A and B are shown apart, each in its own frame.
Chain A
Amino acid sequence: MDAGCHSEGTPGAVDTALPRIALIGSPNAGKTSIFNALTGMHAKTGNYPGVTVSRFIGSTRIGDQRYVIEDLPGTYSLEPISPDEQVMVDVLHGRLDGEQPPDALLVAIDATTLRRSLRFVAQVLRLGLPTCVMVTFTDELSGRQGHLDVEAFEQALGVPVVRVIGNRGQGIDRLRERIAQWRTWSAPVLPPPADPAETDAWAESVLTFAAYRAPGRHRVTQRVDAVLLHPVWGTIVFFAVMVLFFQTVFTIAAPLQGYVETFFGWLSGLTAEHIGNRWAAGLLGEALLGGIGAVLVFVPQIVLLFLLIALLEGVGYMSRAAFLMDRVMARAGLEGRAFVALLSSFACAIPGIMATRTLPSAKDRLATMMAAPLMTCSARLPVYVLLIGLLVDPQARVGPFGVQGLVMFGMYLLGAVSAMVAAWAFKKIGDRRGALMPFYMEMPPYRLPSVRSVLVAMGHSAKSFLRKCTTIIAVTTVALWLLLNLPLHSDAELRAHGVDPGDSAAVATYVTDHSYAADLGHLVAPVFEPLGFDWRINVGVLSAQSARETFVATLGQVAAADDPEQPTQALRSMTHTDGPHAGEPLFTAPTIAALLVYFAFAMQCMATIGVMRRETGGWKWPMIAFSYLTVLAWVMAYLARTVVALLGG
Chain B
Amino acid sequence: MVLIPIHPQPVPDRPDQLRWITPGGVLPFRGVAATAPEPLGALLRDGTLDEVRVETAGVVTTLGPGRTWSGEGTRVRSALHAALADPASWRPADVADKPDDAPLREAAQALLDGQVGEFARSHGGHIELVDVHDGTVTVRLGGACRGCPASRLTLRHRLEDQLRRRCPDLVAVTDTTAPQN
Contact = CB atoms under 8 A, between A and B. Distances in A.
Given a CB threshold of 8 Å, the question of whether A touches B is answered with yes
Interface of A: 149, 152, 155-156, 158, 188-191, 193-195, 197-198, 200-206, 208-209, 211
A152 B161 contact: yes
A317 B81 CA distance: 43
Nearest to A210: B161
Contacts of B4: 201
Interface stretch (B6-14, B31-39, B102-110): B6-14
Contacts of A202: 5-7
B21 interface: yes
Nearest to B69: A190
Nearest to A128: B70
Interface in B67-86: 69-70, 73-74, 77-78, 81
B8 A152 contact: no
B98 interface: no
A149 to B, nearest CB: 7
Given A158-B10, A190-B77, A198-B78, A204 B5 contact: yes
27 contacts: A152-B165, A158-B9, A189-B8, A189-B9, A189-B18, A189-B69, A190-B69, A190-B70, A193-B74, A197-B3, A198-B77, A198-B81, A200-B2, A200-B3, A201-B2, A201-B4, A201-B5, A201-B6, A202-B6, A204-B5, A205-B5, A205-B21, A205-B22, A208-B5, A208-B23, A209-B21, A211-B157
B10 A189 contact: yes
Given A195-B78, A201-B81, A208-B23, A190 B2 contact: no
A638 B84 CA distance: 77
Nearest to A156: B7
A204 B70 CA distance: 23
| For the complex of A and B, 9 pairs with smallest distance between CB atoms | A205-B5, A204-B5, A205-B7, A201-B3, A190-B73, A189-B10, A201-B5, A190-B8, A202-B7
A149 B1 CA distance: 29
Contacts of B3: 197-198, 200-201
A211 B161 contact: yes
Interface residues of B, number: 24
Nearest to B164: A209
Contacts of A158: 9-10
Residue from B3, B6, B81, B161 having most chain A Cβ neighbours under 10 A: B3
Nearest to A208: B5
Nearest to B6: A205
Interface of A is mostly: helix
Contacts of A201: 2-6, 81
B150 to A, nearest CB: 12
Contacts of B1: 197
Residue from B6, B7, B74, B165 having most chain A Cβ neighbours under 10 A: B7
A200 B8 CA distance: 14
Contacts, number: 60
Contacts of B9: 155-156, 158, 189
B26 to A, nearest CB: 12
Contacts of B70: 190
Residue from A190, A204, A206, A211 having most chain B Cβ neighbours under 10 A: A190
A156 B161 CA distance: 13
A600 B41 CA distance: 76
Contacts of B10: 158, 189
Interface in B128-181: 157, 161, 165
A195 B78 CA distance: 9
A153 to B, nearest CB: 11
Nearest to B22: A205
Contacts of A200: 2-3
A473 to B, nearest CB: 58
Nearest to B20: A205
Contacts of A190: 8, 18, 69-70, 73, 77
A161 to B, nearest CB: 15
A209 to B, nearest CB: 6
B2 A197 contact: yes
Contacts of A191: 73
Nearest to A199: B3
A188 B3 CA distance: 21
A611 B18 CA distance: 56
A193 B18 CA distance: 15
Contacts of B18: 189-190
Given A190-B8, A190-B73, A197-B3, 10 more contacts: A158-B10, A190-B18, A190-B77, A193-B74, A193-B77, A200-B2, A201-B3, A201-B4, A201-B81, A205-B6
A195 B3 CA distance: 11
A206 B8 CA distance: 9
A197 B1 CA distance: 8
Contacts of A152: 161, 165
Contact of B7 (A194, A197, A209): A209
